[in-house]
Amino acid sequence: MSQDALDREKILERFAQELDRITAATVLDRIKQMESAGQSEVTDFFDPAQQRVAERVLHHFKALKHTVWGGYPEAERARVLIYPAARQSGASQVPLAFIEIDPGREAAELSHRDYLGAVLALGLRREKIGDVLLTAAGVAQIVISPEMLPYLLGNLTAVGRFSVRLWEIGAQDLCPAVPRSREVRATVASLRLDAVASAGFGLSRSKLVPAVRSGQVKLNWQSVKTPSAFVKEGDVISLAGRGRVEVTAVLGESRKGRLQLLLKKHF
């Protein structure tokens, strides 16, 4: 086995979760391509958990720099641009395109899931799509890989039962919502996913368990269908249509033996 292969395996061994290893391997592939071609390389869109994996991998390569950008400062999904440290680069070099979708005034009921589902139904892969923004004006804006732009403009004609119009816009036209959050203090019997999510979202566990099993709940941006999955400090739980809950701190046990949590709920 070559030294490069040994180094690759050594880095991959640092990631216990299979999905993390896949992301790390993808980043290593991009680095190898960059070193071979002598040009910058960019990943597909990564969720925040994948972005953290990418940064851990890139930490081992001192001769490289990287930029994480998804079209606007608070973007959740972003691409990672990798380039030699001797070069100057930045967010403007990350290849992105933007579309706006107008469903008409009668389609206010359409959700983030509806728009994403319509795009995926055309055969696009999720990693080619960044954030989906719903604006106060009643339109949706989607960040995509530039190579997907002509196909979407020519083929996306409806979202749900509504006909839509769409066109290309610029990054300066994006209208992301102002981030909102609040702290929630709670006590739970254990750090099971259903228990913590129930406390964070203010729903009974009898309602949370079916949501978990149906794939509506994600842990660190990955679908988890096991209510008893373990949650730890720093984890992020999302529930379709209800935002995200971050486990900010586990504060210890109460006098009654329950775990005290400090959560941050993002809307």
Pair 162, 115 in one domain: yes
What CATH number did the domain enclosing 9 receive?
A: 3.30.1370.160
Tell me the backbone φ, ψ of residue 86, rounded to 5 degrees: -75, -15
- Of 46-50, 109-113, 142-146, least confident by mean pLDDT is 109-113
Pair 64, 103 in one domain: no
Q: Of 24, 42, 26, 45, which is closest to residue 34 (Cα–Cα)? A: 42
Return the DSSP state at 72. Answer: S
Q: List C-alpha distances in Å: 4 to 66, 114, 133, 139, 221.
A: 21, 44, 41, 48, 31
Q: Using one digit for the tens of pLDDT, what is the confidence trace for 57-76?
A: 999 998 899 999 999 999 99
Pair 106, 82 in one domain: no
Q: Using one digit for the tens of pLDDT, what is the confidence trace for 49-58?
A: 999 999 999 9
Q: Which domain holds residue 234?
A: 181-266
- Give the tokens for residue 212: 């978990």
Q: Using one digit for the tens of pLDDT, what is the confidence trace for 194-214?
A: 999 999 999 998 998 999 999
What CATH number did the domain enclosing 134 receive?
A: 3.30.70.330
Task: From 72, 93, 114, give the residue that closes a domain.
Answer: 93
What CATH number did the domain enclosing 220 receive?
A: 3.10.290.10
Cα gap 5→58, rounded to integer Å: 16
pLDDT at 2: 43
Task: From 61, 93, 125, give the residue that closes a domain.
Answer: 93
3-state secondary structure at position 89: coil
Please count the structural domains in the chain: 3
pLDDT at 53: 95
| Mean per-residue pLDDT over the chain, rounded | 91
Cα gap 67→89, rounded to integer Å: 8
